Amino acid sequence: MSTKKLWIGFTVVVVVSFGILGYFGREIYREAPPIPEQVITADGTVLFTEADIRDGQNIWQSMGGQEVGTIWGHGAYEAPDWTAEWLHKEAVFILNAWSEEDYSVPYSGLEEEKQAMLRQRLQTQMRANNYDPATKKLTISNVRAAALASNSRHYAGLFMDDPSKADMREAYAIPANSIKDEERMEKMNAFFFWATWATVTERPGEEITYSNNWPPEKLVGNEPTGALLLWTGFSVIILLFGIGLLSWYYATNREEGDHKEVPGVNPLSGMQQTPSMRATLKYFWVVTALILVQILMGVITAHYGVEGLGFYGIPLADVLPYSISRTWHIQLAIFWIATSWLATGLFIAPAISGKEPKYQKLGVNFLFIALLVIVVGSLVGQWMGIMQKLGLVENFYFGHQGYEYVDLGRFWQAFLFIGLILWLFLMGRALWPALKQRTENRHLLLMFLISSIAIAAFYGAGLMWGRQTHLAIAEYWRWWVVHLWVEGFFEVFATVAIAFLFVRMQLIRASIATASVLFATIIFLSGGIVGTFHHLYFTGTPTSILALGASFSALEVVPLVLIGFEAYHNLKLSRAREWVKAYKWPIYFFISVAFWNFLGAGIFGFLINPPIALYYMQGLNTTPVHGHTALFGVYGMLGIGLMLFVLRDMDLKAEWKERPIRIAFWSINIGLLLMVLISVLPVGLAQTVASVKHGLWYARSAEFMETPAINTLKWMRVFGDTIFAVGALFLAWFVFGLKGGWSVRK
């Protein structure tokens, strides 16, 4: 296919996809669950107000938000999903109250026929939408108000310092006095009630709740909808159709002559490094250090799963609770992966043009300092926020926003966005001389520039919500950052960057690389942009979001079925000539990216993507299976591979000692595989069975998660985690040894 047609296809896919994303995003705004101005009882007693709910959301965010359990299935996996648990407790309270009132026995003591009658009465009351749009008031029954009061006492004891809840706090890794005063606790309970109300209340004129009947809870009639089953089947059909179409295209259009005669010597051997290119070395030192700290936080976070408030007897949660260690674990991963890729771009840009813009080194050094300030400042702010040392406004700007992957305060978000714009400026001015030349590399350069613009611009989506923005709307924009920025345009940038590296080494032709990159980008973005909606099935969105998310997310898996060709191609390149063997380990990391793309993003991603699967699995350990193998397995391995490629080019004369990097490569990959297969995945599958049988509340409960079998599986992570950590230590030893001298032969 011609380059012109590919560019047209790329433009059409981007314009149409973002048009769909924007139009149905407006529907999310329009149909989000209403937040009542007042919640009142039948006799007019005001229980709480809209301001209480919105402040309660901020209080939930300040204590860690999605890093402490989940709301609507999004967040951490150690504590319960608060909406699922609140819903179950509320239902059980009301059933028992009615049973005691009518029959003088608890609900569990009734015969089946009477239980069925009370369940139907419960469903009729709880699923009815008693919100009045005219007065903006929500009216609830007296018995439901009593259930609210009962739940509020339970959560006040859990999040504050009730001694009777000590064992439960230990199981959920929640320190005593995570919420330090009763007024804050009352407001957070108001938010919990409203978020749960949205999961059980039917939309006006429909027979499904605002959350599409999620979470599964048979007591209140929350069961899979017909649309859920329909679009699950349709997504499988779309997947098979896409695979067939792509296979046909690949078979009929694959260039037989796409190979290139590999030069006898390294074409880069005479490359002159500019001052700004050399200045990127310190970026990779920081990347390596952050990898070690991130893994340490991961070890601590995983250990909290079996010892909720300590680390082998040390009361670590007093100063570093689970919510902070998990926040830092995720945040540092994004920081070091992004830093590696940004540094690679800063190194490649002057190498492509062969020119060093004035003050480019100064810009590279300034950006480095700015990134360090952002990393340290945001981590400190998150600690202060979770430890309840900031007011709600101060926490929003400088502390912890409570949204997974975008936890850092708004000030640090804006600072990072400005840093990315500076990076784009440095990239653009270095690439500009090459862009002005009409060479065969020009189309690839344009794609490189477009992907760089997207990386800088799409992080700006994280600035689209405010301190008290509706949760459904904040989730919409959050996934623009997580899915489109992290999983989307960084993928495009990496694809272009790798192609450039191989073109510069004259291992593949520029025309072939350009066509491959454009085609891969079209295929990826065809499903990837609108596929963002698969994260939003149950977050207060209309059924149209479920239909679009199911259909397009299936297309995300399509290009991964041919990933083996990419791996085989890269393996052949690594053996093409003797001089190419110097790049063996960077290329091997690219090969591992292909493996994890297929397994982590493909197999484990599609495991949870279909609506009926996610209905029972959302918020269970099947999600971190995909998260670990996709985020580290794909993007982390890419970051390491790009780092090693640049380090190789920085000193082509040095002969690397292979033993440490070989151990690092195999240990990291084997450790990650073992961590998932012998621990996280089995726990997730066991939870799925419990979720189908009893409901999500039970699958996340201490009662289930503290059983001997589940505890044994959680302890099994030690094997994979240890091997993985050893690999990271060898990687750090190797990287620092390139400067210290112990990683190269004299």
pLDDT digits (tens, 9 = 90+) for 588-629: 998 898 888 888 888 898 889 899 999 999 999 999 999 999
Query: Which residue type sits at 176?
Result: A
* 3-state SS assignment for residue 36: coil
Query: In this predicted model, what pLDDT tens digit does every residue of 204-217 receive, in sequence order?
Result: 999 999 999 999 99
Judged by phi (left if over 0) then psi (alpha if -120 to 50, else beta), residue 208 lies in: beta
Spans of the chain, pLDDT less than 70:
1, 251, 253-271, 559-571, 573-577, 746
pTM more than 0.85: yes
654 near 742, Cβ under 8 Å?
no
Strands 131-132 and 74-75, how do they pair?
unpaired
Q: Which residues contact 390 (CB under 8 A, 6 or more apart)?
A: 62, 381, 384, 398, 399
Distance CA 535, CA 405 (A): 14
User: What phi and psi values does residue 727 have, to the nearest 5 degrees?
Assistant: -60, -40
Q: What is the pLDDT of residue 396?
A: 97
- Distances in whole angstroms, Cα of residue 472 to Cα of each of 28, 57, 194, 483, 590: 7, 12, 12, 16, 37
Distance CA 301, CA 328 (A): 10
Alpha carbons within 13 A on the beta-carbon side of 570: 23
